[in-house]
Structures are given as structure tokens and as C-alpha cells.
């Protein structure tokens, strides 16, 4: 039997392959046609938002192979699902949650998080690449997730009210605009700043007191040549809550390995607490993953009680 995910992918793919244009642009058109007339796709009830996200994601992955957007890598599902789980646990009991993703790309990570908190979450997505914003915007409509989009350099001033939570897979590398970077504490005295450092500072600036920043960042963040600038900023302006190492097997080589960094914006009456240092086990090992998630759940319960 054909699943809903396969039907969605096949509808977008058949349309995109039939057009003499960029696959991703045609995929956007296909999604627009689907939105205009949902009966074009004979899906099997019940249709979940995760099925819609996954079907579109398969088409985007295919389109990315044809013409990868510069510097873009969609956040893999295994990482997105883990972050969705952690984010929803940290927001347990909260009726309405606002989220910012300042480097939203296709929105795949953001929508995984939103689907995990469906019905009680709204988001702001910032992205510099307009094709990715178009893809992300049509996906949000099909998912019926409330998202406000900004097409801009997220490190320029942002017209976003402070959010409960920032979640982002950070772009890694140097940020070329030294003049703009001068406004950041994380601009080093010499040379270019690291974009991923500035993104952390910008994100925490737009996060409410007591709110969390959940970032996918290079595993060597704390040991880079600019760590002497980063350490005092993290110590004075944030509270490091957790560093979760992702399995090397998820990355092309160990030097590209990433971790999940969870920061909290300090609030009055905040107590010191230990930093959770954890390592995600082999994700195909169900028993090890269940134990790991148990540990994460105990930790998130303690963290959400502290607020
Ligand atoms: N989570 C995204 C997804 O699932 O598709 C992937 C994010 S990707 C690792 C990082 C994104 O940051 C890219 O889409 C890139 O275009 C964007 N980006 C890089 N520099 C930026 C900037 N200065 N302002 C806004 N977006 C930027």
C-alpha cells in the first residue's frame, strides 16, 4: 500500500520532473497547486502533519541534490526529532509557546519542533535565501503552522519580540560583514567573527529571560581559536544548561561533528545548576536510545520546574 508520505512525494516529484525549470521551484508550484485544490492528492485518513512534512522533505532532498543552495544543509530528521522532543519537554505545561529560528532554511527543523508542540506554538523564521523562504512558507501553509517570515541577514537588526525559545541549526563559518559584526560582543579584536558565535548572541538577545536557546553547533565550539571571546560571553550573559554530543556517524567526517548546546537566558532568582553533559548513543540501538531519552526526560523535568 502506498503511504501518505509516498503519495505526497510522488505528486510533487511527478510535477517537478515534468517542468523545464529548477526542481525546487517546480516543487513550490506543485505545493501551491495542492494547497489550491487538496483533492488533487488522494491521501488516506487520518493525515498527520508529520506525514506532510516528511513527504515535502523527500522532494526537497531530491531537489537539493540537483542544485544545493549555497551553504545549505537541511537538518537531518534524527537530530530534528531529538530537538523536537527536548523542546516540547522544556515547554511542558506552557499553553502558548513562541519560537524563533534565525537560520530557518527549508524550515525542516522548525516544523519538526512545531509538530511536536502542535496547537500551542507559533514561530518566527528568518532566512537569507529567498528560494528557501518560499519553500518554507508554502510548507507552513500546508502544515497549518503559524509562522512569520523574514527574508534577511539575521545578524542585522531583527524586528522580533523576545521569544520563549530559540531553536536553530547554525550556519558555521566566518561572517564577512565586519562592520555589522562590530555591534556584537563576540566580534574578536582581529579578523572576522564566526557567524555561529554571532548567531548565538543574536538569538539569546531575542529570547525572553528564563527562555531557552537550543542550537546545533560545531562539536569543537568551546575549543576554537575564538573560544577566549566566547567563554566570557557565555559565562556572563547566559547559563549553559546542556551540551549533548551527537554521534559521529551522522556526519560525513568526525571534523564536521556537531553537538546540541542548550543555553538559558538568566532571570532574577535563577539558581546555579549542573550542566548536563551527555552523548547520544547509536540511534539504531533502541534500548540505548530509550535509556538516553529517560535521562533527558528527567533532566528536562528538573529544568522546567526551576522556572
Ligand atoms: N534548519 C534548517 C533546515 O532544516 O532546513 C537548516 C539550516 S542551515 C544549517 C543554515 C541556514 O542558515 C542556511 O539555510 C543559510 O542560508 C542560512 N543563513 C546563513 N547565513 C545567514 C544569515 N546571515 N542570515 C540568515 N540566514 C542565514
pLDDT in tens, 1-24: 799 999 999 999 999 999 999 999
pLDDT recorded at residue 73:
84
**How much is the CA Rg of the chain, to the nearest whole Å?**
20
Distance (Å) from CA 158 to ligand 1 centroid: 15
- Asked whether the predicted pLDDT for residue 70 surpasses 70, the reply is no
Residue 75, ligand 1, Cβ within 6 A: yes
Q: Which of 73, 111, 128 to mutate to test the pocket of ligand 1 (most atoms within 8 A of CB)?
A: 128
Residue 103, ligand 1, Cβ within 6 A: yes
Pick the atom of ligand 1 nearest to 216's CA: 9
Q: Which of 127, 134, 143 to mutate to test the pocket of ligand 1 (most atoms within 8 A of CB)?
A: 127
If we measure between CA atoms, which residue out of 204, 292, 287, 205 comes closest to residue 241?
Answer: 204
Digit-coded pLDDT (tens) for 175-231: 999 999 999 999 999 999 999 999 999 999 999 999 999 999 999 999 999 999 999
The structural domains of the chain, with segments of one domain joined by +, span: 4-66, 77-306
Tell me the mean pLDDT in the region 49-78: 88
Mean pLDDT across the chain = 94
Pick the atom of ligand 1 nearest to 136's CA: 5
Residue 109, ligand 1, Cβ within 6 A: yes
In three-state form (DSSP H/G/I as H, E/B as E, the rest C), the secondary structure along 127-186 is ECCHHHHHHHHHHHHHHCCCEEEEECCCCCCCCCCCEEEEEEECCCCEECCHHHHCCCCC
Pick the atom of ligand 1 nearest to 155's CA: 23
- Asked whether the predicted pLDDT for residue 121 surpasses 60, the reply is yes
- What are the b/e assignments for 209-225, b being 16+ CB within 10 Å? ebbbbbbbbbbebeeee
Residue 234, ligand 1, Cβ within 6 A: no
Residue 169, ligand 1, Cβ within 6 A: yes
Distance (Å) from CA 190 to ligand 1 centroid: 25
Q: Which of 27, 64, 72, 258 to mutate to test the pocket of ligand 1 (most atoms within 8 A of CB)?
A: 72
If you take atom 7 of ligand 1, which residue's CA is the nearest one? 105
The CA–CA distances, whole Å, from 7 to 56, 109, 234 equal 10, 22, 46
Tell me the mean pLDDT in the region 89-111: 96
Distance (Å) from CA 170 to ligand 1 centroid: 7
- Asked whether the predicted pLDDT for residue 293 surpasses 80, the reply is yes
Omega within 30 of 0 (cis) for the link into 46 = yes
Residue 24, ligand 1, Cβ within 6 A: no
Predicted model pTM: 0.96
Distance (Å) from CA 149 to ligand 1 centroid: 13
Residue 213, ligand 1, Cβ within 6 A: no
Q: Cα angle at 34 between 30 and 40, to 5 degrees? A: 110
Tell me the mean pLDDT in the region 157-170: 97
Distance (Å) from CA 175 to ligand 1 centroid: 13
CATH superfamily, with its number, for domain 77-306:
Vaccinia Virus protein VP39 (3.40.50.150)
Distance (Å) from CA 97 to ligand 1 centroid: 22
Asked if 166 and 99 count as a contact pair (C-beta separation under 8 A), the reply is: yes
Residue 177, ligand 1, Cβ within 6 A: no
Residue 77, ligand 1, Cβ within 6 A: no
Amino acid at each position: 500500500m502506498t503511504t501518505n508520505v509516498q503519495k505526497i512525494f510522488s505528486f510533487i516529484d511527478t510535477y517537478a520532473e515534468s517542468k523545464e525549470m529548477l526542481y525546487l521551484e517546480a516543487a513550490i508550484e506543485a505545493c501551491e497547486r495542492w494547497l489550491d485544490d487538496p483533492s488533487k492528492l488522494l491521501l488516506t485518513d487520518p493525515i498527520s502533519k508529520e506525514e506532510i512534512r516528511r513527504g515535502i522533505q523527500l522532494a526537497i532532498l531530491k531537489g537539493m541534490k540537483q542544485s544545493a543552495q549555497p551553504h545549505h544543509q537541511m537538518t537531518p530528521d534524527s537530530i530534528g526529532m531529538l530537538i523536537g522532543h527536548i523542546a516540547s519537554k522544556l515547554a511542558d505545561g506552557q499553553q502558548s509557546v513562541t519560537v524563533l529560528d534565525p537560520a530557518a532554511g527549508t524550515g525542516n527543523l522548525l516544523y519538526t519542533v512545531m509538530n511536536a508542540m502542535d496547537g500551542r506554538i507559533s514561530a518566527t523564521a528568518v532566512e537569507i535565501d529567498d528560494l528557501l523562504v518560499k519553500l518554507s512558507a508554502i510548507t507552513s501553509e500546508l502544515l497549518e503552522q503559524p509562522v512569520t517570515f523574514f527574508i534577511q541577514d539575521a545578524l542585522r537588526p531583527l524586528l522580533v519580540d523576545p521569544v520563549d525559545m530559540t531553536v536553530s541549526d547554525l550556519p558555521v563559518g566566518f561572517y564577512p560583514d565586519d562592520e555589522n559584526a562590530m555591534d556584537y560582543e563576540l566580534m574578536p579584536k582581529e579578523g572576522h567573527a564566526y557567524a555561529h558565535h554571532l548567531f548565538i548572541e543574536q538569538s539569546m538577545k531575542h529570547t525572553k529571560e528564563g527562555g531557552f536557546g537550543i542550537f546545533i553547533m560545531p562539536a569543537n565550539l568551546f575549543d576554537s581559536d575564538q573560544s577566549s571571546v566566547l567563554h566570557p560571553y557565555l559565562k556572563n550573559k547566559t547559563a549553559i544548561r546542556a551540551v549533548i554530543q551527537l554521534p559521529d556517524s551522522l556526519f560525513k567526517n568526525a571534523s564536521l561533528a556537531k553537538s546540541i548546546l542548550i543555553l538559558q537566558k538568566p532571570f532574577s532568582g535563577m539558581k546555579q545548576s549542573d550542566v548536563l553533559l551527555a552523548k547520544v548513543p547509536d540511534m539504531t540501538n533502541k534500548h540505548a536510545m530509550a535509556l538516553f531519552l529517560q535521562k533527558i526526560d528527567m533532566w528536562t523535568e528538573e529544568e522546567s520546574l526551576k522556572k
